Amino acid sequence: MTGKKQELGDDTDSPISDGWELTVSDGHAGYGVYAHMTEYPEEGAILVLSMERGETANMTQREEYRRSNPLGGPAKVFDAMADAIRAGDDYHATLARYGYVEAHKEEQQKRANRIASVAAEELIRSEGEPDSAADGFSIPQCQVDGHMRDCIEHLVCNGEAASWETDDGYLIVQLGDFTLGGGS
């Protein structure tokens, strides 16, 4: 091991004291607590606890929590948000900055559209019978209700499907990219 060593305790009642020595050092695997057998020091040490410089081996849970939560946890985050809003920052921008809402209405609309598309496609796949075409589904007209028609219309309007009715009483839905530049 290299660097400054700091021995930890000489407690003879400790299970680690029976032939082992603990040190805090800059060892082969970085800064941390190392254990090695006092009888065989040439065998090398084992890294027991990796630490950052300045950390102590007996850091309390409270100190660890404070180090990993610089704002002090959720209550402090809300305090910081309230302070920013009181100082005149835009309410929605502040919520977005802290990850509580999406930044713009356009992003919210895109997200809602993606969710609707996924739900509509799942309905088509679950209610339709796969036909010979890839991602093509046949649905008997008697099973097509208003909700199913809205889902199909959503997909068609967004260029995510094409649909047509057959003479034998089926509605065919072909899923895919049907936008003007689709597939390129």
- Write the pLDDT tens digit of every residue in 134-182: 889 999 999 999 999 999 999 999 999 999 999 999 999 999 998 876 5
Query: Are 139 and 117 found together in one domain?
Result: yes
Q: What pLDDT does 114 receive?
A: 92
Q: Residue 131 falls within a domain, yes or no?
A: yes
Residue 180 covered by a domain: no
Q: How far apart are CA 93 and CA 172, in angstroms?
A: 45
The amino acid that residue 13 corresponds to is D
My answer on whether 142 and 84 are in the same domain is no
> Which residues lie across from 36 on neighbouring strands?
21
* 128 and 92 in a common domain: no
* 110 and 97 belong to one structural domain: no
50 and 78 part of one domain: no
- Is residue 64 a part of any domain in this protein? no
Q: What is the pLDDT of residue 134?
A: 84
Are 24 and 45 in a shared domain?
A: yes
Q: What is the pLDDT of residue 118?
A: 94
In a domain, 88, yes or no: yes
In a domain, 146, yes or no: yes
Domain boundary among 79, 101, 123: 101
- pLDDT tens per residue, range 84-122: 888 898 887 888 777 776 556 777 788 889 999 999 999
Is the residue at 181 inside a domain? no
Total count of domains within the chain: 3
Domain that holds residue 33: 2-58
For residues 26 and 7, give the distance between their C-alpha atoms in angstroms, rounded to a whole number: 13
CA 124 to each of CA 51, 140, 152, 159, 165: distance values in angstroms, whole numbers, following the listed order: 54, 12, 8, 15, 15
Judge if 94 and 118 occupy the same domain. no
